[in-house]
Each structure stands twice: as structure tokens, then as C-alpha cells.
Chain A
Amino acid sequence: MANLGPAHYAPYPVATYDGLLTPPEGKAMLLTDMVDEEVAMREVARVMLTSENATIFPGPQVLYAWSEEAKKKATLIKEMSEVLNAKMIPMYDYRPKYPKIDPEVEINPNHPNLTIWHNEIKACIFIGVHCHYANVALKIVRSETDCYTVGMCALSGHEDAMATIRDQHAEDLARFIEIAKEVKQELGK
């Protein structure tokens, strides 16, 4: 059995119960602290570069070429995975899968812990997942795994992620990649 996360089997909406809220505009959240966006970006890059099996979970909003912004983001996320030495496992739809998902090739919001356990992922980034499914998945991951989760959200962020950076559009992702390159160099990775 994998290690449980900070929420364990809490029967309530975990992060908000602990007094955590999504960050205000221009800020980000690292565990329980509100910090400047750049501080959060540096820390996220450091965690991703130093954790075992760091993985990016792109969701439908960036996986599919449904708008120009989505296409730009797709290119940037691919670059991000190369900079962070991260694997990529898609959350390509939200249907519960019967009889079971293949955790080596996908993650599903209804049982995301299976993919994290199977691949022994210690840090991950959710990006392009619709917020209501990201909330479900992040709550499960928070309680049932010891994985450090990052919510890179185009809207107001996710309190159930260990780190959440809000209002992330294509230009913000480009900025994150530059910061990640600097951190990578500092770490000598």
C-alpha cells in the first residue's frame, strides 16, 4: 500500500476544512502559504526536477486542438516536460473506465491514485483539466497518495493541490519554462 497523503481518509472537503482557499489574483499558493507567483514557479520547478518520476497530466483543454490558445499551450507543455525531465500521462477523457484503466498510459479523475501508485509518481502537474474534474482528482490524490500535486489553472486555482498557480495562459507558461530552465541550471540537472 502506498503512503497516504496529508488528508488521509478525511470525510470532508479536505483543504477548505483546513482553512485553505484559492489564492487571490497575482498570488499563488504553496502548501499553506500565499506567495508571489514567481516564488511558486521556482518552487514547483525545483520539486519537479528533484522528485522521482515527475509527471505532467495534460487534460482535454490542452490535449485537443480546439483553439489557437490550446495549440500554443500544447507546444509549451511539451517543451515544459523536456525542461523538467517529466513524463507525460494524459487525462484524455473523464469517463470511468471499466473494467479498469491502463495506469501506464492514462490517468482518470475517478481514480487518479491508481496511476500515481502504479508509476510511483512523487510530483505531478495537472494542466488543462476542467476545474470540476481537477477538484475531484486532486482531492483523491491528496488523501490517498504522498504525491506533490501542482495545479496550473487558467482560472482561479485549486486549494487541494499542494501548489497552485492561477491564471496560467500561454505567456505565463512561457515564463514558467524560462524560470524552470534557470532552476535546472542552478541544480545542475
Chain B
Amino acid sequence: MSLRYMTPASKFKRYLPKDYVELVDYGPFGRKYSEVGVKNMGAYKELVEEHPMCSGCWMAYYIKIIFAALPNPEDTVTIGTAGCGRLAISQAAVPFIYGNYGDQNAMASGITRAFRLRFPDRQKDVITIAGDGGMMDIGFSMTMHAWFRRERFTTIMLDNEVYGNTGGQESGMSVEGAVLKMSPKGKNFGKMPAMQLAITAGCVYVVKMSPTNINKAAKAIRRAIFAARNLGPTFIHVYTSCNIEYSIPTPDVFKDAKEMEKGRFAFEEFMTPEAKELFAQIESKTKREVS
């Protein structure tokens, strides 16, 4: 995508759906992050608004943060796979590619390379967004190999610790002993160490968090995208509870996320010295660029 491809021809503007025209007039395309971004959510036309996710879905909330945090939405492509998340991601006003059963990081490798060849003078951001099943179980080999190859794109894992939209099977990211609707005996091995795997495989910036603070969540997303542009693969491992499969009452979803923040999703951030230097440069250039 680019701005030219979303600006309506003047003669046709009145025929386009209202929602689209508002997106062009009041959306974040081509505007400074300080004017839009997560701090101003609700005050501009956001890239994803309506979605078919469950009431109280923490994943849907985090997906809204992802799209509000994009540094360059008009030149961004997202790639996902089977799972709840893609139902909302595909409704965003950013091109979305649906990878079959976990191949999102393999597809992103090709697309990132193709973008660099096709648009050598422009920065295109590629982000894969998938669940714990798509990223660490079914798509595990493709995720790991993309990192080993040092492919320059951002990987975001929406970890709800369960296969949420197929009835509640255990995933590699469920904790040991987790009893789920389709795992009545309880999981008999522990949660996979996704963050350590990412660091070992060569990611230059890795974050694990429970996104209770939108500014902190957005900062991590933007840092991951900036580092992926220049240095190598980046990974965000984020807790996005499934309140249906884990029976969390809707009013308690935020409380649950806060508790996770004190436990196994305590904020951890890894960056290589090069990434650290890059962030220092970017963040000193303009304080609002990453905030």
C-alpha cells in the first residue's frame, strides 16, 4: 500500500462508503504519530474499530494497540494465520495476508525480501501476528527458521495459553497442569520458553509483557518495528487472555492481566547493543517518535 492508493479520485469520493471516507479524512495515514497514536485513541478514526471478537477479549484490545502504534500504517503489511486474532486483524485498514496453518513467518520472509527488491527507496514494514498455537506449535519451525535466517520483520505472538477458537485444547504455551475443556487430565509438560528461544535464534529485540499499560505496549511495538527495519528479527510475546476458555468474567479481564504482569508475564526486555544504540538515536531525535 501507499498513500496514493488510498486517496480517492475527487469525482468518486462521494460514492465511497462513509466509513472509508472518514478513514481517509480522519485516519492516521500520513500523519505524525504525535497527532494520532495510542495516546489519541478515540480522537481519530482508528485502523480497526468493528471486529467479531468475544466480549471482553483482551486480544482484541491488544490488536487495537498494535494498529494504533504503527509508525507507518500506509506502508505496512500484516500476516497472520488460523486463530481468533486474524478475525480482527483482517478487518483493519491495513493489508492483511492469511498464512495457512502457521506459515506466516515463512511468508513474511519472502514478502520482506520482495519489498526490499521492489521498493528499494521506501521503507515497508512487515509484521506477523499470530497466536501461541500458530507461532510456537504449528508454525514453530517456520518461526524459528525465519529468526535463524535473521529475516528483518517483527513477530508478535498473542499468547492466550490455549487453542481458543477450536474448543480449548492445550498448546505448547499452556502452563503445566492446565486443565482445559479439551485437556481434562491437565497438561503434563511446562510452558515453552519462547523468549529464550527467540534470543537464542538471533532476535535483536525481544519483549515479554502483559499489556496493561498502553503506552508501554506501544513503545515495545514501535521499538520492535524500528529494530526490524535495520537490524534483524524482533519478537514480542504478549499475554492476551482468552476469557471464554479460561472462564474469566468480563469485568475481571483487566484484573487478570494485572496479576499476570506480576507473575509469568512480568515485563522483560532484551536488546542487542546495536538495538540499544538505535533506540537511543531515534528516541533522542524526537522524544515523541517512540512513546
Chain A residues proximal to chain B, CB less than 8 Å: 58, 60, 62-67, 70-71, 74-75, 77-78, 88-90, 92, 95, 98-99, 102, 105-106
Contact = CB atoms under 8 A, between A and B. Distances in A.
Contacts of B17: 90, 92, 102, 105-106
B50 to A, nearest CB: 9
Contacts, number: 57
Interface string B1-40: 0001111111110011110100000000000000000000
Given A98-B52, A99-B52, A70 B9 contact: yes
Interface of B: 4-12, 15-18, 20, 52, 87, 90-91, 96
A88 B7 CA distance: 18
A65 B15 contact: no
The 9 A-B residue pairs with the shortest CB-CB distance, nearest first, are A74-B9, A78-B11, A66-B4, A74-B11, A65-B9, A88-B15, A105-B17, A63-B12, A65-B7
Given A64-B5, A64-B6, A65-B4, A90 B16 contact: yes
A90 B52 contact: no
Contacts of B87: 98
Given A78-B11, A98-B91, 8 more contacts: A60-B5, A64-B6, A65-B7, A71-B9, A75-B11, A98-B87, A105-B17, A106-B17
B4 A58 contact: no
A66 B5 contact: yes
B8 A63 contact: yes
A78 B5 contact: no
Contacts of A62: 9, 12
12 contacts: A60-B5, A62-B12, A63-B12, A64-B7, A64-B9, A65-B7, A71-B9, A74-B11, A75-B9, A78-B12, A90-B15, A92-B20
Contacts of A105: 17-18
